[in-house]
Amino acid sequence: MANRRKPSPPESIGYIPDGDLGAKGAVSGRLGRVRDRALDAAMRMLDGVSADAALEQIFRRARDLGPAERAEASELVYGLARSLRRIDDRLERAAKATGRKLEMVDASVKTRLRLLTLEAEMGASFEQLQERDPYAVKRIPGLFERITSGRVPPAKPKSEAEAIGLEWSLPDWLVSRLVASFGAPRAEEIARALSGRASVTLRVDTHRVGREALIERIAREHGIEAMPTRLSPLGIILPSHVRVRSWPEFEEGLIDLQDEGSQLVALAMGAKPGDTVVDACAGAGGKTLALASLMQNTGRVISFDPDEHKLQELKKRARRSSFTNIETQAMDFGRLPPALAGRADSVLVDAPCTGSGRLRRQPDGRLRFDEAAVTAFPALQARLLLRAIDAVRPGGLVVYATCSVLTEENEGVVERVCQTDPRLRPVSLERTLGGVLAPSMLQSSLRLGPGPAQEDPDGFFLALLERVDT
């Protein structure tokens, strides 16, 4: 569990308490420009700020950092989020072997020790660590000599789930559920994939440009070799370090950032030009935009979300892509207007969830995991899926999807709702994805990812259902 402490004043750079201001590498900046900023952002992240927001706050004031330095600081912060449990356990074991306890250092110094341990895992030698932060290295004599020489006593997990959780920095309760659902070998595969990095995956607006033509254009104008996604006919994959938001293709709306799994969720809707489709939980609208493209900017895509700010972002993205067939409803989908009841050809319920399948892209999500959410989400997810039955016409389709790897949020919700309301029944994905996926994947539901390869999809679940009035 991350240390909790009061936030530092916003003007602080090193995020070190006043008592440490004389220490080597404190607010004076003697850790170096990159490490000072990484430490500041890491402390904010451990206080509950998202890693993205923490880095944005720091970079907004760090005008002296160039792109390479910002990337280096980001790598340290995201790497710490991805590895925190393992690093803390390793530090505890190493400190105990020296006869010391980590409780003897304050939160800021402990975070410096964590960052040094991360760098040791990345291959830094003791001498390099000593050069980067001599004050922190000296706080517990002998600590980093042990860590860098491999003389840390081994961990002693009490269960298979704990062993996997320690290795891949996931909570035991999550791993225990994965082991119960899929067995220990598959649970470890999932854990390993969730701890990796994801490629940059784009969705091409194939209504306006062909995928192969765009791959050729990227090679010609940006000197980058893109590759098509393995399953989705809409996607292309770029190396993980590429930043596309400044590209003309992005500004023109020809491409958008979207994981391959998310693209397949949109394709599973079977949306056709002229349809009326509902995106019940649109958020910032990635799947709404994909549906608008598949419908060739015709018909109606009606997007619900109670967060007006997210819908404003959706509208901004729609304008960039020149879509005019999108309507927004700033309300909970549970308050479906009577005029829309039974009118939709298809409804997408991309339900709020733990997000456990997207930890590659949001590694700090593991710091905010709450086991209680696993029991709270299914009730909300079932309520939204039941409401979708009222919104879709008889014979219309409902796609239920999450970016969770947990059975309770996926198969469990679908089974519960189908037992509750006989108007909804599972149908084969061959109906909408028959020309996209291999026959072995065309059941009524599908799990995608996470991984195992970097270019493979995040962890998604989707189920195709049909309203049948008896």
If you average pLDDT over residues 428-450, what whole number do you get?
94
The pair of structure tokens assigned to 359 is 């930890």
Compute φ and ψ for 279, nearest 5 degrees.
-105, 105
- The DSSP-derived string for 110-155 is HHHHHHHHHHHHTT--HHHHHHH-HHHHHHSTTHHHHHHHT-PPPP
Question: Please, which pLDDT band fits residue 470 given cuts at 50, 70 and 90?
Answer: low
CA 250 to chain centre: 21
pLDDT for position 15: 34
What is the Cα–Cα distance from 112 to 105, expressed in whole angstroms?
10
What is the Cα–Cα distance from 235 to 267, expressed in whole angstroms?
12
pLDDT tens by residue, 332-346: 998 999 999 999 999
Compute φ and ψ for 136, nearest 5 degrees.
-65, -35
pLDDT tens by residue, 184-216: 999 999 999 999 988 999 999 999 999 999 999
- The DSSP-derived string for 393-441 is EEEEEEEEEES---GGGTHHHHHHHHHH-TTEEE--THHHHTTTS-GGG
CA distances to 144, 267, 268 from 437, in Å: 50, 11, 10
Q: Please give the mean pLDDT across all residues of the chain.
A: 91
What is the Cα–Cα distance from 145 to 365, expressed in whole angstroms?
32
SS (H, E, C) 219-238: HHHHCCCCEECCCCCCEEEE
Q: Is the pLDDT of residue 415 over 80?
A: yes
pLDDT for position 285: 94
pLDDT tens by residue, 265-324: 999 999 999 999 999 999 999 999 999 999 999 999 999 999 999 999 999 999 999 999
Which CATH number is 18-149's, of 3.30.360.10, 1.10.940.10, 3.30.450.20, 1.10.10.10? 1.10.940.10
Query: Taking the CA of residue 151 as centre, how many other CA atoms within 13 Å lie in the half-sphere pointing to its CB?
Result: 10
pLDDT for position 437: 92
CATH superfamily of 263-467: Vaccinia Virus protein VP39 (3.40.50.150)
Question: Please, which pLDDT band fits residue 408 given cuts at 50, 70 and 90?
Answer: very high
Q: Which of 234, 318, 254, 231 is nearest to 282 (CA)?
A: 318
Amino acid at 433: L
Q: Find the helix or strand (DSSP H, E) in which 379 lies.
A: helix 371-391
If you average pLDDT over residues 385-411, what whole number do you get?
97
Q: Is the pLDDT of residue 126 over 90?
A: yes
Question: Please, which pLDDT band fits residue 30 given cuts at 50, 70 and 90?
Answer: low
- The single-letter DSSP state of residue 359 is T
Residue 431: is it exposed, middle or buried by C-beta count within 10 angstroms (0-12/13-18/19+)? middle
Question: Cis (ω within 30 of 0) for the bond into 452?
Answer: yes
Q: Is the pLDDT of residue 147 over 80?
A: yes
- The single-letter DSSP state of residue 193 is H
pLDDT for position 104: 84
| Domains of the chain by residue range | 18-149, 160-194, 263-467
Question: Would you state the torsion angle of the CA atoms of residues 82, 83, 85, 90, taken in this order, to the nearest 10 degrees?
Answer: 180
Mark whether 281 is an active-site residue.
Answer: no
Q: Kindly give the pairing relationship between strand 300-304 and strand 424-426.
A: unpaired
18-149 and 263-467 share one fold: no
pLDDT tens by residue, 66-115: 989 999 999 999 999 999 999 999 999 999 999 998 888 999 999 999 99
Q: How far from each other are the two terminal CA atoms of the chain, in whole angstroms?
A: 52
Amino acid at 91: L
- Residue 333: helix, strand or coil by DSSP? helix
Query: Residues, the chain, total?
Result: 470
299-309 as b/e: b if 16+ CB within 10 A: bbbbbbbeeee
The pair of structure tokens assigned to 81 is 């989020």
pLDDT for position 302: 98
- The DSSP-derived string for 259-310 is -HHHHHHHHTT---TT-EEEETT-TT-HHHHHHHHHTTT-SEEEEE-S-HHH
What is the Cα–Cα distance from 458 to 417, expressed in whole angstroms?
25
